[in-house]
Amino acid sequence: MDIYEKMDLLFNKASKDADLKKAILATENSENALSDFCKLASEQGVEIYPMDIITESEASYDAIRRSTNGGGENSPVLVREDDAYETLLNRLRN
């Protein structure tokens, strides 16, 4: 299961459980947001580690940059990375 499938699983669980949704959203304000989020995910039976999120987000961003204008140093700056954690938070807010 890749990181996005795990995030979808958490999204589906949180969509049905208001307390879980609130807890996931609260991790954003934590001093150790990714660590706290991953601990919460683990408690829900979904093993996610901070490096899983960081690595996948960087890989997605790099793929986008490579596809833009040849991907060289002169590629345009992208507005934001495709961050799996931030994407999940945004999905839960909506």
pLDDT tens, the chain, 94 aa long: 888 899 999 999 999 999 999 999 999 999 999 999 999 999 999 999 998 888 876 666 666 666 665 655 555 555 555 578 888 899 999 8
**Distance set, CA 75 to CA 54, 66, 69, 79, 82 (Å):** 22, 8, 6, 12, 17
Contact yes or no for 78/51 (Cβ under 8 A): no
Tokens of 52: 């899983």
Contact yes or no for 25/93 (Cβ under 8 A): yes
Domain boundaries, the chain: 3-93
